[in-house]
Amino acid sequence: MNTSQVGSSPAPRSDASHLFSAPVIVAALGYFVDIYDLLLFGIVRLPSLASLGLSEAQISETGASILNWQMTGLLLGGILWGILGDKKGRLSVLFGSIITYSLANIACGFVQDVMVYKFLRFVAGVGLAGELGAGITLVSEILPRHLRAIGTSLVAGIGLLGAVVAYFTVEFFDWRYAYFIGGGLGISLLLLRIGVFESGIFKDLQNQKHVVKGNFFSLFNNKDRFLRYLKCIGIGLPTWFVIGILATFSNEFGKAMGIAEPTRPGLSIMWCYVGLSMGDLASGFISHWLESRKKAVFLLMVFTLVGSIIYLFAGIKSAATLYTVAAFLGFGIGYWAMFVTIGAEQFGTNLRATAATTVPNMVRGTVVLMTTLFANFKMSFTVIQSGALVGLICFAIGLYCTLTIPETHGRDLDFLEE
């Protein structure tokens, strides 16, 4: 890759100077704030809705509705920011998305009405959808090809620690202040982004006026491209099976296992994200060592499959053990950064941000299908059996897609989708 693409002078740069350049650092901090705000409603759901005067039954129903509004925002925002990322540039999305969700989160701290709360979480969802895909796309394009896996894993590994900070912020502060802190972190981050440069590959594309950029429907009008897109989504399914089913419903699994003390889903999710952060950092180095994206993802996915079997069938008898297994499962799904990187590397520059931004949000959206299946299976099977059936579907799809998608390690990203 030439020096104009990595934003450097003609003098050689060390690997460390590439990995700790401003775009990588800012993308990592941006994803940190993104994860903090993404998970914040789930953490403050009970106290925030209780303070608005809702009963326990209303909290359950309204909380699910607000989460659906936020998820809808993520799905629509993923398409919006992806298209803008290919049409206007990766940096425009990084700036626009963080302004959107930061202001929405600050406004959530003042909310007094449930309908306003739903609308603000929808707006926040739209904003939150753009951060990861744009960040991974930018970092993938500015780094030399031999450093891409490590760079994107640094972004996700550091960013995912936002979940831990969100958990402890709510432990020490009122839920309204937790929203103010999240919004304030985002606004502060804008100051760091002033010196961040655009991808050289995208700058070159801007001069090619005849090239169609950011056409979302072009992901569906070509069989090969459509299959690559579906496989990118399929690879991510086990990650949100762990988060959306095993961790989120750990209270139900804990009861089914006969664990005496109550299992707290918030703690399960936090420990899962601790493991996820470490796994993301490791996945880049594993991919670099194996010289393969597919092999790294496959190994971590098999690790997660074994961990899921242990979680469901090993006869866990204490909440502490369950939290420990949740951390190991988090490490296994630490291929999250690698999966988004694969999504960016599969597609040409004129469609790369669209793919990389929509793919993770499509995977997040499948949680609705997973929870629906889980609920329906529970009508005929036990909680543990129902979880296992959902997991079987997710891992079967995930492993197939991983084995059959084209390898992208070391691929030159300076190409276009026709």
328 has pLDDT over 50: yes
Assess whether pLDDT exceeds 90 at residue 329. Answer: yes
12-199 CATH fold: Growth Hormone; Chain: A; (1.20.1250)
CB 83 within 8 A of CB 355: no
Is pTM, for the whole model, over 0.85? Answer: no
Query: What does the pLDDT read at residue 9?
Result: 47
For residue 27, pLDDT over 50 is answered with yes
Inter-axis angle of helices 56-87 and 131-142, nearest 10: 30
Task: Give the residue-averaged pLDDT of 284-294.
Answer: 89
Q: Which of 71-75, 243-247, 320-324 has the lowest mean pLDDT?
A: 71-75
219-418: what fold? Growth Hormone; Chain: A; (1.20.1250)
Is the predicted pLDDT of residue 2 greater than 60, yes or no? no
Give dist(CA 131, CA 156) in Å, integer.
11
Higher per-residue confidence, 316 vs 75: 316
Q: What is the pLDDT of residue 133?
A: 77
Which residue has better confidence, 295 or 57? 295
Assess whether pLDDT exceeds 50 at residue 291. yes
Q: Comparing 12-199 with 219-418, is the CATH topology the same?
A: yes
Burial of 51 (0-12, 13-18, 19+ CB in 10 A): middle
- Which one has a higher pLDDT value, 200 or 4? 200
Per-residue pLDDT band at 401 (split at 50, 70, 90) = very high
Question: Lowest mean pLDDT: which of 152-156, 212-216, 342-346?
Answer: 212-216
53: which residues sit within 8 A by CB, 6+ positions away? Answer: none
Average pLDDT rounded to a whole number, residues 342-359: 85
Q: Give residue 330's pLDDT band: very low, low, confident or very high (50, 70, 90).
A: very high
What's the CA gap between 316 and 268, in Å, rounded?
A: 14
| Highest averaged pLDDT of the listed ranges 43-52, 119-128, 140-149, 247-256 | 119-128
Rounded Cα–Cα distance for residues 94 and 92 (Å) = 6
Highest mean pLDDT among 73-87, 272-286, 290-304, 353-367: 290-304
| In the predicted structure, residue 286 carries a pLDDT above the cut 50 | yes
Q: Is the pLDDT of residue 198 over 80?
A: no
Whole-number pLDDT of residue 212: 62
Per residue in 42-101, pLDDT (tens digit) is 788 888 998 998 887 788 788 878 888 888 898 899 888 888 877 877 777 778 888 899
pLDDT at 75: 86
pLDDT of residue 357: 84
Position 194 scores a pLDDT of: 60
Per-domain residue ranges for the chain?
12-199, 219-418
Q: Quick one: what percent of the chain has pLDDT higher than 90?
A: 36
Higher pLDDT, 59 or 275: 275
What tokens were used for 255? 């009861």
Mean pLDDT of the chain: 85
Question: How confident is the model over 281-288, as a mean pLDDT?
Answer: 88
Burial of 112 by CB count in 10 Å (0-12 exposed, 13-18 middle, 19+ buried)? Answer: exposed
- Cβ atoms 179, 124 nearer than 8 A: no
CA-to-CA distance for 168 and 7, rounded, in angstroms?
38
* pLDDT confidence band for 143 (50 / 70 / 90): confident
Pairwise pLDDT comparison (240 vs 415), residue with the higher score = 240
pLDDT for 220 equals: 86
Work out the average pLDDT over 131-144: 81
CA neighbor of 325 nearest in space, from 333, 316, 334:
316
What pLDDT score was predicted for residue 130?
83
